Amino acid sequence: MARGLAHYRVIQGLYRGGQADVFLAVDQRSQRQVCIKIYHLQGGAPARRRVQAEAWKLARVDSPRVVDILDVVGYADELALVTRYVPGVDMQTLLQDQGRLTVEDTLSIAMDLAVALGAAHRQQLVHGDLSARNVLLDRDGRATLGDFGVAVQQGEALAGFSPQALSPEQARGDMSDPRSDFFCLGLLLYRALYGQHPYADKDSVDYDTLQRGLDEAPLLPGLMPGVADAVVQLLRDLLAQDPNQRIQTAVTLRERLRQLRVRLPASTELGGHVARLQRSLPAPELPLRLPRRLVTLPPMKRVRDWMRGYWLRGSVGARLLVVAVALGLPLLLHAWLQRPGPCVAVTNIDFKTQRLRGVDLPAEAELLGQLVRLVKQEQPQAMVIADTPDSDSLWTLSRHGLSDRCVAQRLLEMRFECEDQLCDLVLDARGPRGGQQLSMPFVAGIGEQRFLSELRRLVAEQMTFLMD
């Protein structure tokens, strides 16, 4: 987002955690309530760029059971995710209050989460942190999966996870796999049904037991034997140590959950519990201000974010525009730096009369070359247009008549005016300020050094006149 978080107004804090602080805010453009999650990233700017890139990938996940990412704002080592606000509580809060959930409510939550995981897996994303804290429940009892802050592309290494949502392959440091999300979903369902983590030792996870696997899940009381066996078998299939022995796809998982859910009565308790808890939860003590660097981004960061967002829209026209801007700006800058300086057109030498006998005038080509060199010495930044090898004819910007003229229309002309065997060298300058003529007598026998010295004086005066 190119404008940062300036148009969001924070209302209250929602949650303070080890990885992020979550705020409830209002988008002042649409008056819609949103959540702003400010991450405490470890690893500085590289970690921020990685999470930011994954968040933009998640923004393409289209499912009502996944929290929509509305904006991603990052700068330096700070990152903010702006998401849709789900009024309710997270599943961790509900389980702390209730201890355990009914089979009906647990399966309903699992069906919603299976839809969310299917949408993410279709985009080749692995959530990697399917814990109770990241499952949001609204007042209708519907579940929404949030916090994709550590989500990665399938086959990449996970950068972080919650100990309560850890699969055996994650504990070994293997690459991410969508079936790891199914294992973590099994952990969550076990916690909801039995009131405890299957591999928990008090408040910590027993990693040795996690690697050995689940021996047996106790039957749930109060259910028909066929339904109870099916629920236990579902847990075994989700919590299998070998990923190849687990449920392989979200479609298969949803079908098995649906078959179980239709065999159980409808439940209306979950929404009531969520509404009661939401009213009773105190707001955490958080400073109601956002990081200043994320509120108003630096100008260059705004340009980069605008171009990146335009690129991610995916249309051919948008991407062509980004490519054109990306290539055009350096070309324009190069052209600006290479632009010619003030242009001076030096015309060929004009002899008003025929060469007079006894007056030894210098050769025209030699004299024109000397004049061009003197002009360049006086104004090194000027582009000199003349019919000599030393001129800058490459930079001719326009042509008028028989001679090259520059855009600035600065013209320097040398001519000899002779009468009765007496000659004057006239240097005529015409430019933006008008015209000016300077002359010097040219007599037979004048030394070359004196002639060049006087000519240099005239050139210096005329160039000062032309360039002011």
- Whether 138 shows a pLDDT value over 50: the answer reads yes
DSSP letter for each residue of 404-442: EE-TT-EEEEEEEEEETTEEEEEEEEEETTEEEEEEEEE
Torsion, CA 56, CA 157, CA 209, CA 232, rounded to 10: 40
Residues in CB range of 417: below 8 A, 6 or more apart: 352, 353, 423, 424, 426, 439
* pLDDT range class, residue 252, cuts 50, 70, 90: very high
* pLDDT range class, residue 400, cuts 50, 70, 90: very low
254 and 154 belong to one structural domain: yes
Residue 300 structure tokens: 């260059």
Q: How far apart (Å, rounded) are the C-alpha atoms in residues 167 and 230?
A: 22
Residue 81 structure tokens: 């995710």
Contacts 24+ apart (CB under 8 A), 311-314: 312/56, 312/59
Span 64-84, mean pLDDT?
81
356 and 315 belong to one structural domain: no
Span 211-219, mean pLDDT?
67
182-186, 317-321, 351-355, 424-428: least confident range: 351-355
* pLDDT range class, residue 336, cuts 50, 70, 90: low
- Whether 98 shows a pLDDT value over 80: the answer reads yes
- Going by the DSSP 8-state scheme, the letter that residue 176 receives in this structure is P
Q: How far apart (Å, rounded) are the C-alpha atoms in residues 210 and 147?
A: 24
111 and 193 belong to one structural domain: yes
- Whether 427 shows a pLDDT value over 60: the answer reads yes
25 within some domain: yes
What is residue 126's predicted lDDT score, i.e. its pLDDT? 84
- Whether 406 shows a pLDDT value over 70: the answer reads no
DSSP letter for each residue of 85-110: ---EEEHHHHHHHHSS--HHHHHHHH
What is residue 453's predicted lDDT score, i.e. its pLDDT? 86
Span 59-69, mean pLDDT?
83
295 within some domain: no
* pLDDT range class, residue 262, cuts 50, 70, 90: confident
Where is pLDDT greater, at 312 or 102? 102
What is residue 18's predicted lDDT score, i.e. its pLDDT? 67
123 and 196 belong to one structural domain: yes
320 and 270 belong to one structural domain: no
Where is pLDDT greater, at 253 or 173? 253
Contact 2, 17 (CB under 8 A): no
Domain span including residue 38: 1-85
* Cross-strand pairs, 398: 405
Q: Which residue has the tokens 């009892």?
A: 141
Span 376-391, mean pLDDT?
80
- Whether 368 shows a pLDDT value over 90: the answer reads no
| pTM summary value | 0.60
DSSP letter for each residue of 393-405: GGG--EEETTEEE
Q: How far apart (Å, rounded) are the C-alpha atoms in residues 113 and 329?
A: 46
Q: How far apart (Å, rounded) are the C-alpha atoms in residues 143 and 344?
A: 76
258 and 393 belong to one structural domain: no
What is residue 363's predicted lDDT score, i.e. its pLDDT? 74
- Residues of the chain with pLDDT > 90, as a percent, come to 5
290 within some domain: no
291 within some domain: no
Nearest-CA neighbor of 429 among 401, 454, 460, 398?
460
94 and 164 belong to one structural domain: yes
The beta-strand segments (E) located in 163-243 are 200-201, 204-205
Which CATH number do you get for residue 231? 1.10.510.10
* Cross-strand pairs, 412: 346, 429
Domain limit, last residue, from 60, 85, 110: 85
Which CATH number do you get for residue 2? 3.30.200.20
Residue 227 structure tokens: 């339904």
Residue 342 structure tokens: 């003030």
- Whether 25 shows a pLDDT value over 50: the answer reads yes
What is residue 404's predicted lDDT score, i.e. its pLDDT? 46
- Whether 399 shows a pLDDT value over 50: the answer reads no
- Whether 353 shows a pLDDT value over 60: the answer reads no
SS3 content of the chain, % helix, strand, coil (to 5): 40, 20, 35
411 and 440 belong to one structural domain: yes
65 within some domain: yes
Span 36-55, mean pLDDT?
72
Residues in CB range of 53: below 8 A, 6 or more apart: none
* pLDDT range class, residue 113, cuts 50, 70, 90: very high
Span 430-457, mean pLDDT?
82
Contact 439, 416 (CB under 8 A): no
41 within some domain: yes
- Residues of the chain with pLDDT > 70, as a percent, come to 74
What is residue 292's predicted lDDT score, i.e. its pLDDT? 72
- Whether 263 shows a pLDDT value over 80: the answer reads yes
Span 17-31, mean pLDDT?
82
Span 418-446, mean pLDDT?
81
What is residue 251's predicted lDDT score, i.e. its pLDDT? 92
Span 387-395, mean pLDDT?
68
Span 51-69, mean pLDDT?
77
Q: How far apart (Å, rounded) are the C-alpha atoms in residues 371 and 368?
A: 5
Mean pLDDT of the chain: 78
Domain limit, last residue, from 16, 51, 85: 85
Contact 263, 227 (CB under 8 A): yes
297 within some domain: no
Domain limit, last residue, from 85, 102, 122: 85
296 within some domain: no
Number of structural domains the chain divides into: 4
DSSP letter for each residue of 275-295: HHHHHHPPPP---S---HHHH
End-to-end CA separation in angstroms for the chain: 47
* pLDDT range class, residue 468, cuts 50, 70, 90: confident
111 and 69 belong to one structural domain: no
158 and 40 belong to one structural domain: no
- Whether 402 shows a pLDDT value over 60: the answer reads no
Span 46-69, mean pLDDT?
76
What is residue 254's predicted lDDT score, i.e. its pLDDT? 92
46 and 184 belong to one structural domain: no
351 and 276 belong to one structural domain: no
* Cross-strand pairs, 417: 424
